[in-house]
Structure 1
Amino acid sequence: MDRNDPFSYNTAASDIMDFVTPSAAPKPAAPASSVPTILVTDWHRSHLLDFFREKNIEFHPDYSWKTFIWLIAKFIVNGREEEIVETDWKKMAGGGTAMFIKFSTVAAFDEGVEILRSSKAFEGCLVERIRG
């Protein structure tokens, strides 16, 4: 594998997780409407890039926003994709953006809120809890 290619390089370092964009959406563990959701508003691309740098997560700067959000969710649950129900983002009225991350467990939800609220990358963003 080429170590300079972010799509083919796998690392064994425990502090860096290697993320690969899933080829198919994971099967949700619970219906998306019944699970707790993390809502992050007032963010933009630089927040995502700063988060990946802050947490030493390998990424390619050309990833889509949807991929970045999926990888944030995967980081939160330490790679346990079965705990991720749904990730998405939407434009809000007035031009802002909203990020949604839904987890199948309250523990993952609580951990995600804590990670995002304590991240310097998301300072100035609103991180909210929406219970399913």
Structure 2
Amino acid sequence: MACSFYTSNGKYWIDLRKNDRKKYREEKQKFVDDLIQQLEQKYPGISNDIEMVDFATPASVLRYTNNWQGSAQGWLPGKNVIASSPISFKLPNLKNFYYASHWNRPGGGVPVALNMARDVAKLICKENQVDFKVIKK
């Protein structure tokens, strides 16, 4: 089972880990204990089946990936958030450079990064008047 919770206060977790590791670990454990208690109410006996727990905070993400402000995905980008890609694939005045990452589109994560890479490949093909083809084996 995977449970995801979103926080708009990544700074809290990052600062807590930086300034008070003991309290940071205690806060993480309290969160896990509360979650298991709630799951136990909904699914009696589930706590007996839990083999492993991993609780990652924005501080964890920052530590493992150095991702900006500990974001597990991309923060909401740019002004035009309803565009197919609110952040451009290119940088001005930098020839032959294309940017594809989970920061290009809201939602982020690996699936978005892969989709962005595909979109950049299509753009490069279009700019070079080459048909984009998917090769299936």
* Fold match (TM-score > 0.5): no
Which bracket does the TM-score occupy, shorter chain normalised? Answer: under 0.3
Q: TM-score, normalised by structure 1?
A: 0.24
Q: TM-score, normalised by structure 2?
A: 0.23
Higher helix share: 2
Higher strand share: 1
Higher RCO structure, 1 or 2 (CA under 8 Å, sep 6+): 1
